Structure formats: structure tokens, C-alpha cells
Amino acid sequence: MELKLISEIPPSVNHYLGQRAILRGGKPISVAYCTKDAANYKKRFTEYVTGEASRQGWEMPDRQRHIYVDAVFYFPMTDMDSNNYWKCMLDAITDSGRVWIDDNIVCERTQAIYYDSANPHVELTIHPADYIGIFEDMPHLEYFESKCFGCTRYARNCSLLNKAKAGRIQPEIKAGECTKYHAKKAESKPNRKQNYKNQRRK
């Protein structure tokens, strides 16, 4: 699953938020606000993202699944730093409500920087990360969980497994093995003589 987007160069982090003073409780305090340029950019790009997500059939991944956002920047000038242009762009994608719930699951990666004064823009490729929680990929997770089926903790909705899926590092899981594994007791074989007596009583 992949979503491709093209953005104009967004406002930099230095031009994203402004500060204004207001009175609260009779005391002046400073509050942040979205600048006009940033607000206009976010409105345009959010509408575009919403349409492209539908057109390209993007399905929102599980909330615990991290997402790569790979970007190629085409700047109009050579003195621009790509790190300054992520925030407003990612916030606009979040505002669309169509790609992810919150950008705290986003792994942003600048793949290349070029210079094009005639057509400055950003090309984005969005796709789910291979790793899931602490597991390097889905087969690794499935292998780990397959061993959980025989553990007494599994039937009780194991918190260790759930936290591992959420990416939490735990001392109980070392080198891909759970040190808290406790095998279920083997089910006893049916007593044929007792079954025969029960059937005769019926």
C-alpha cells in the first residue's frame, strides 16, 4: 500500500506559528497562532490530500503501525534546510483525517534534495513501515505469537505481547524470547471406564 503526494514548498517552521500577547486574569501572556500563509497552505494541501487518499484507495493502517513518509525536495534556493519544512506539511496531512490519526507514528525521511527555481515542490511517498512494534516484520511477529498459544498468559490477553506489538521495550522479552512463558497443563485423556459408566446411567 502506497500513497504518492506532491506539495508546494510549505511554510518553514520559522513561519508556521506566530506569537501574540493576550490578557488572562489581568496578566499578559504569549500565545501561539497559525500564520496566515501557513493556514492557507494547510487548507489547500489538506483538501488535496483528502482527494488523493480517496482516488488512490489509501486505507488507514492500524494505529500502532508506524508509517514512513519519504520526501524528495526541489528547493528554489540552495540555502534551504529540509528539516525546517516537515512540520506544517505533516500537520496538514494529519488534519485530512484520511492518512493517519496522529503524526506521532510518522517516520519522516528526506531521500534527496534538488534545486529547481522554476518548479519548487516536494514529492512524498507514504507507506506503512515493515516493522511492527518490536518485531522486524509481520513474519517475525507471527512466529513470536505462534509460541504464545501454548502459554497460560495468552488466554488472559497477555500484556507483554500487547506492549511488544505497541513497540515497548520490556526486560521480560530478550533476544526474541519471552522469559515469562509458562506452558499450559496438558489436558487429561478421557477416562474410558468412567465414560462407559456415565453412558449406562443415562
Q: What is the pLDDT of residues 53-83, one digit of tens each?
A: 999 999 998 887 899 999 999 999 999 999 9
Share of the chain above pLDDT 90, in %: 62
Tell me which residue of 163, 166, 189, 194 sits closest to 178, measured CA to CA.
163
| Distance, CA of 165 to CA of 139 (rounded, Å) | 13
| Distance, CA of 34 to CA of 57 (rounded, Å) | 31
pLDDT in tens, 128-187: 999 999 999 999 999 998 888 888 888 778 899 999 988 999 999 998 889 888 888 765
pLDDT above 70 (res 85):
yes
CATH numbers and ranges of domains, the chain: 3-128 (3.30.1330.70), 138-178 (no CATH)
pTM for this entry: 0.79
Tell me which residue of 179, 126, 128, 171 sits closest to 151, measured CA to CA.
179
Q: Which three cell numbers stand for residue 109?
A: 525521511
| Distance, CA of 70 to CA of 72 (rounded, Å) | 7
Tell me the three state secondary structure of residue 62: coil
Q: Which three cell numbers stand for residue 48?
A: 488535496
Q: Is 2 left (phi over 0), alpha (psi -120 to 50) or beta?
A: beta
